[in-house]
Amino acid sequence: KSVRVWLMTGDSVTCVALAMRHTTSVTTVALPTVKCNFIVSAALDTTIKLWNLPTKLSPDKSESLNVHLTTLAHEKDINSVCVSPNDKLIATGSLDKTAKVWNTEDLSLVGVLRGHRRGVWNVCFSPADQVLLTASSDCTLKLWALSDLSCIKTLEGHSSSVMVGRFITQGLQLLSVGADGLLKLWSIKTSECLKTFEHHDAKIWALVVSGEEDRLVTGGADSQLVVWRDVTEESFVKQQQERQQRALQDQELANRLQNQDLLPALQLALTLERPATVLNIVQTVLKSDRDGLLETVRQLREDQKKVLLKLATEWNSVSKHCYAAQMVISCLMDDITEGSLHIEKHTLETLLPYTERHFKRMTQLMQDLHLLQYTATLMKPHT
């Protein structure tokens, strides 16, 4: 039934103010942003109270706070309260399926936001726009325009109640946590879930984002506090480096092919996983020297041989590439039988049917060829 203000100095935490006027348990509190001269609290008695907060608080003495304003806010429990970035408005969310906006000066009602099918768990003002975010048990998040209190967007993606929603990146994106144990990142512009993060084993009750938005903390019913770090910039830099490296390798591959350096070109093409280029190199080697293919394959690393076997399995399913595929498999057969190159069961299951089909076709072609030769022999004049 009480609200306490704590002063943190170093490793110590001291209660410097106490507010005791609620008749039932306090469910949520909020502080202003511009000037910390008041506190807003809500309780199970469905009231919200605005308390005056002294400008100077001493760790040696606990102040008793006076109620400045009180109003009966909702018909059911109030789950969330927050103060707008300019301290002029207060928003509340309740189990009565509504969110309400109040004037900070006199706690007069500005408007009621209706649209959720179940209770509202959390409310949050946008740091950049005249927009309010609500999170509800109906598995949705809603964005409301404060100008006319209309719903401008509904975000769907959670499979259970959405417990908390927060604006990030200057109000362009959202973070939400739910009873499904998931943390989700949303784009406000597209209303799409950009990414889902899973670490908790139960309902997530709390979500706090650091001031610099490089870290956030979630707390769940699984008794875990999870610290998350934003790696967007690091991932972008890594992707840029990978693109640059790939561009250099592409140029090197083109140079190798032009200079007919087939072994280095094959190794590089396998590393880059370029099936068409690898096939072209294999076919080129086969045209010039079949024994040269065996020597070329033997000089490959084990990981490159695995990629080559995978590609040969794919080529084997196409009739016009089956010769190259069978020659590659033949070159790799020693490694397979010796056990240095492991062949998966599903790879065998893919290879065998097509190989049998190719063998039958080649057998039929050989029979047809012999028949033609026999017919041609019979047609020759007898000597």
Same domain (yes/no): 176, 75: yes
Percentage of the chain beyond pLDDT 70 is: 98
**Listed residues 186, 214, 231: the one ending a domain:** 231
Residues 79-98, mean pLDDT to the nearest whole number: 95
Q: pLDDT at position 287, please?
A: 79
Output DSSP code: residue 38. Answer: E
Confidence of residue 69 (pLDDT cuts 50, 70, 90): very high
**pTM given for the model:** 0.65
Residues 213 and 245 in one domain: no
Q: What is the mean pLDDT of residues 16-21?
A: 90
User: Do 13 and 140 belong together in one domain?
Assistant: yes
Least confident segment among 45-54, 61-70, 336-345: 336-345
List pLDDT tens digits, range 233-247: 888 888 888 888 888
Indicate whether 346 and 227 sit together in one domain. no
Task: Provide the pLDDT for residue 208.
Answer: 93
Residues 329-378 have pLDDT tens digits of 888 887 888 777 777 777 777 777 777 777 777 788 888 788 888 788 87
Domain boundary among 231, 247, 282: 231
**Roughly how many angstroms between the first and final C-alpha of the chain, as a whole number?**
122
165 shares a domain with 16: yes
- Verify that 75 and 130 share a domain, yes or no: yes
Q: What is the CATH number of the domain that holds 9?
A: 2.130.10.10
- How far is Cα 235 from Cα 194, in angstroms, rounded to an integer? 15
pLDDT value, residue 346: 74
Q: Give me the chain's average pLDDT, please.
A: 88
pLDDT, tens digit, 9 for 90 and up, residues 286-320: 877 666 777 778 888 888 888 888 888 888 888 88
Q: Which domain holds residue 291?
A: 235-379
The answer on 262 and 125 residing in a single domain is: no
| Residues sharing a CB contact under 8 Å with residue 275, sequence separation 6 or more, in sequence order | 311, 314, 315
At residue 290, the pLDDT reads: 67
167 and 140 in a common domain? yes
Report the C-alpha dihedral over residues 235, 238, 242, 244, rounded to 10 degrees. Answer: 120
Give the percent of the chain with pLDDT over 90: 48
pLDDT: which is higher, 82 or 36: 82
Clarify whether residues 106 and 52 are in a common domain: yes
Q: Does one domain contain both 187 and 239? A: no
Q: Are 203 and 256 within one domain?
A: no
Triad 230, 137, 216: Cα angle to 5° = 15
- pLDDT-derived band at 382, boundaries 50, 70, 90: low
The mean pLDDT of 138-158, rounded to a whole number, is 95
Which helix (H) or strand (E) is 356 found in, with range? helix 345-379
Sign of CA dihedral 241, 244, 246, 252: negative
Q: How far apart are CA 176 and CA 154, in angstroms?
A: 13
Domain count, the chain: 2
pLDDT at 53 over 60: yes
Q: Are residues 51 and 200 in the same domain?
A: yes
pLDDT (tens digit, 9 = 90+) per residue, 94-147? 999 999 999 999 999 999 999 999 999 999 999 999 999 999 999 999 999 999
DSSP character string of 167-233: EETTTTEEEEEETTSEEEEEETTTTEEEEEEE--SS-EEEEEE-TTSSEEEEEETTS-EEEEE--HH
Of the two residues 62 and 354, the one the predictor is more confident about is 62
Report d(CA 158, CA 140) in Å as an integer. 7
Kindly report, residue by residue over 185-232, the tens digit of the pLDDT.
Answer: 999 999 999 999 999 999 999 999 988 888 999 999 999 999 999 887
Which of 177, 207, 231 delimits the end of a domain? 231
